[in-house]
Amino acid sequence: MKDLTPASDTEEVRKYFDSRAEGWDERQHPQRELIERILEEGKVKGKVLDVACGTGIMVPFYFEAGVKEVVGIDLSSKMIEVAEKKFSGRARFVTGDAVLSDFSGQFDSVVVFNAWPHFISPLKAISAFAKDLRPGGRLVIAHDKGRQALNRIHGGGAHLVSSPLPPARKLAEEMSGWLQAEFEADEEGMYEVVGKKIA
C-alpha cells in the first residue's frame, strides 16, 4: 500500500474521476442493507444534496427511503453525464465544487457517501455544507466499508488524491464548530458520522 497524499487542488481530483467515469458503475457494488442503515441513522429526508454524487449510485436508495427531491453535485463532468443519462427527470445534477457552491439553507440533508478522503480541506467542507442545511438538517458523511479497509483500497490507484479517513470520533469533534454531533459508527464494515444543524 502506498502512502495516501491529499490532492493539492480540486483539478487533480476532477481529472482522476473524469478518467474513471466510463465503466465506473460496473466496478461498484452497493450494499443495500448498509446503505439503508446509513440513511436511517442519518435521518435522511426531504430535499437532499448528494455531494460527490458520481454516477448517481445513491439516487434509487434516496427515493426508496422516502426522500422528496435530490440534487447531485460532482467535480467530474464525465460522472455527471452518466448520472444524467440514468436519472434524467428524477434528480437534478450539477457539475461543480460543492464546497464553493452556494446552496444557502436549501437542504434537509447533505450526504457525502464514499467520498470524504478526496476533500482537500475537510474543515472548509464541513463549514460549507453546514450552511447548505436548513435548521434541524443533517450532514451525513458515510462509507459502506470500514476505515482501515478503505484506507487500504485508497492506497492503490487513488493514493495521490486521498487523505486517510480519520476516526469517526475525531470527525465528529471537528464538526462541533458548526453542527451538533448526533451519531457516529466506526466499525469493521461501515463508517458514518452525522451532525445536526441546531440554528
Read off the pLDDT of residues 98-135 as tens digits, 9 standing for 90 and up.
Answer: 999 989 999 999 999 999 988 888 999 999 999 999 99
- Report helix, strand or coil for 185: strand
Read off the pLDDT of residues 128-175 as tens digits, 9 standing for 90 and up.
Answer: 999 999 999 999 999 999 898 887 766 555 555 667 889 999 999 999
Residue 62 lies in a domain: yes
User: Taking a C-beta distance cutoff of 8 angstroms, is the pair 1, 149 a contact?
Assistant: no
Residue 2 lies in a domain: no
Residue 109 lies in a domain: yes
Q: How far is the C-alpha of 190 from the C-alpha of 45, rounded, in Å?
A: 21
Q: How far is the C-alpha of 108 from the C-alpha of 164, rounded, in Å?
A: 28
Q: What is the share, in percent, of the chain residues with pLDDT greater than 90? A: 72
Residue 162 lies in a domain: yes
Residue 5 lies in a domain: no
For residue 143, the enclosing domain spans 10-196
The total number of structural domains that make up the chain: 1
| 97 φ, ψ (degrees, to nearest 5) | -90, 110
- DSSP code for 140: E
Which cell numbers in the block locate residue 155? 492506497
Residue 78 lies in a domain: yes
CATH number for position 19? 3.40.50.150
Give the model's pLDDT for residue 34: 95
Residues present in the chain in total:
199
- Measured CA angle at 29 (ends 155, 117), to 5 deg: 35
DSSP string, 32-97: HHHHHHHHHHTT--SEEEEET-TTTTTHHHHHHTT-SEEEEEES-HHHHHHHHHHHBTTBEEEES-
Residue 1 lies in a domain: no
Residue 3 lies in a domain: no
